Amino acid sequence: VETILNSLDVLAGMLSSLQVNKEKMQESTEKDFSNATELADYLAGKGLPFREAHEVVGRLVLDSIKSAKNLQDWTLEELQTYHSLITEDIYVYLQPKTAVQRRNSLGGTGFDQVEYQIAVAKKANEAKK
């Protein structure tokens, strides 16, 4: 319990001085492979067993690293060499904002869910006052 309380004190101090650089955060989401799961989900949603989708995406990520490319940098024709189920709409799924918004289940990272959780936390905090 003491460790948790000390950790909360440190966290409160850190958060009170936190400065968010939205542009840098946005830029970093476009230069990683956090959208790889979206591609696997996309393929699975089109009927490919998830294990196979995972394998396809794994090969693509490996080739992306070797080529210094991000997933959204590949042309449609190049992506289709990995699997024929990939069509033009894949670029919507690979957008970071789309990836976040699709996680809209309770407790998820979707914008509506985050706003809801903030409201719940504020209400709980007010009730304690």
Domain that includes residue 123, residue range = 105-129
What gap in Å lies between CA 109 and CA 116, rounded to an integer? Answer: 11
Domain count, the chain: 2
Residue 19 lies in a domain: no
Residue 18 lies in a domain: no
70 and 41 in a common domain: yes
Q: What is the pLDDT of residue 46?
A: 98
Q: What is the pLDDT of residue 72?
A: 93
pLDDT digits (tens, 9 = 90+) for 108-123: 888 888 899 999 999 9
What gap in Å lies between CA 70 and CA 64, rounded to an integer? Answer: 6
113 and 71 in a common domain: no
What gap in Å lies between CA 30 and CA 86, rounded to an integer? Answer: 20
pLDDT digits (tens, 9 = 90+) for 59-113: 999 999 999 999 999 999 999 999 999 999 999 999 988 888 887 788 888 888 8
77 and 45 in a common domain: yes
Judged by phi (left if over 0) then psi (alpha if -120 to 50, else beta), residue 102 lies in: alpha
What gap in Å lies between CA 18 and CA 32, rounded to an integer? Answer: 23
Does residue 30 have a pLDDT over 80?
no
Q: What is the pLDDT of residue 59?
A: 98
